[in-house]
Amino acid sequence: MKKGAEKELLWQSRFAEPFDREALLFSSSVDVDKALYQEDIRGSIAHVMMLSEEAIIPVEEARLIIEGLEEIEQEISSGALVPDWEDEDIHTVIENRLKEKIGPIAGKMHSGRSRNDQVAADTRLYMKRAIGELGNALKGLKKLLLEKAETYRHTIIFGYTHLQRAQPISAGHYYLAYFNMFQRDGERLHDLYKRVDISPLGAAAFAGSTLPLNAKRSMELLDFGGLFRNSIDAVSDRDTIIEFISACSIIMMHLSRFCEDMILWSTSEFNYLEISDAFSTGSSIMPQKKNADIAELVRGKTGRVYGDLMNILTVMKSLPLSYNRDMQEDKPPLFDASESTISSVRIFTKMLKHTKLNEERLAKLTGEDLSLATEIAEYLVRKDLPFREAHRVTGKIVTYALESGTALSKIPLETYREFSELFDQDIYDALKPETSINTKQSHGSTSFASVDEQIKAARSGLR
């Protein structure tokens, strides 16, 4: 907007008194919705083209409007045109600037269109773009997880339940667990896209228009896959925003769990993995510190995205049909959740790429740990001892190992036979981590053969 130009609010003609400046500042959304300027201009161009094709406005006037809008997009992109809060919102910024360029003809741009279906269209166009970006970021992460699973498929790590060492597993199996989580996230976005890809243009304020609008043509010009069915629902629905932020929240939850593993496993107490220095920070007072700050920040941003979900749910929970100004508050949580989630997925992927497992330490720990106790119980089951009895015998052996400070694989055979006559020399084969893993026969298990099959299936189903 030109310096010193009088600001004009698009709806003010009905009012005798000017809008209070403090009220305008309170209600202005331009600092937030300026992010939609490209979508807004694209939507306006499509609407004007449709108006021209339907002979609602002259072809030459449509040409002037479209050329002006294209120039304005360049002005905003280059920084030559800076939105001002006094313009109320980005739509006013664009229309007032267009009026400066081509005069009163600019007002014909709004023929048959309300701010309500205009904003709804802009928001859906933004969400289509955001879903694409987030989907691509997730695909990059999933590809990396498959690479990690391939690289470490024969590396043995501890599997945990209740944050206690449970059983030895293939590290590839671990990475594939997260792959499956993020695969479902991608499927959720893919499914959501169908509901976002609906054009609301032509619904007008909420009841439609007396002008012969061609809503289907507007849909085609904006590359929407479908058209709204009910004009009231078209402008008052925010389900897709809620669903998108919900999908973002689940993605962030998965990232946060992964980050928690990495934070714990990178400590000196665990020392299972090493995060590159490029994604770690130090202490301002303790020189020895190496902190997993990037992982911690991603974990922290999860709460922020959860807050965005509660924000939009609370805004919408008691709104009567159809449009209400409260809905202006849908943009901050939408933009924040989108930007936070996309950036988190991208930086996490980059960090994970530069993270290595401490294979030597893991091999030593898994070979001597009590997590092989389940193998003793199943060994006895294979000798035809009922599982409950096998569990009882194994529990006593674990107690002995703890009290004597002896690894399960180091307990003499005669000692094993004191607990049960069923033990023989082959018990020591069962107490090797590799044997524990490779004897797993059930579907989707951690055996090396199963992991190889899972990797193959994951590659073929990658989306």
- Gap between the Cα atoms of 428 and 436, Å rounded: 11
Buried b or exposed e, range 242-258, using 16+ CB within 10 angstroms: bbbbbbbbbbbebbbeb
Q: How far is CA 371 from the centre of its chain?
A: 34
Find, among 176, 172, 196, 174, the residue nearest to 184 by Cα: 176
Find, among 124, 113, 130, the residue nearest to 45 by Cα: 113
Residue pair 108/58 in contact (Cβ under 8 Å)? The answer is no
- Gap between the Cα atoms of 348 and 350, Å rounded: 5
249 is catalytic: no
Residue of 13, 78, 162, 268 marked catalytic:
162
CB atoms closer than 10 angstroms to residue 270:
16
Residues 6+ apart with CB under 8 A from 291: 280, 281, 282, 283
Residue 301 DSSP one-character state: H
In which element (H, E) is residue 126 found?
helix 115-151
* Tokens standing for residue 441: 């026969």
Residue of 52, 190, 246, 283 marked catalytic:
283
Task: Say whether the peptide bond before residue 280 is cis (omega within 30 degrees of 0).
Answer: no
Write phi, then psi, for 90 (nearest 5 degrees). Answer: -65, -30
Residue in this structure with the two tokens 């579907």, named with its chain if needed? 443
Q: Is 160 helix (H, G, I), strand (E, B) or coil?
A: strand
354 is catalytic: no
CB atoms closer than 10 angstroms to residue 148:
23
Catalytic residues: 162, 283
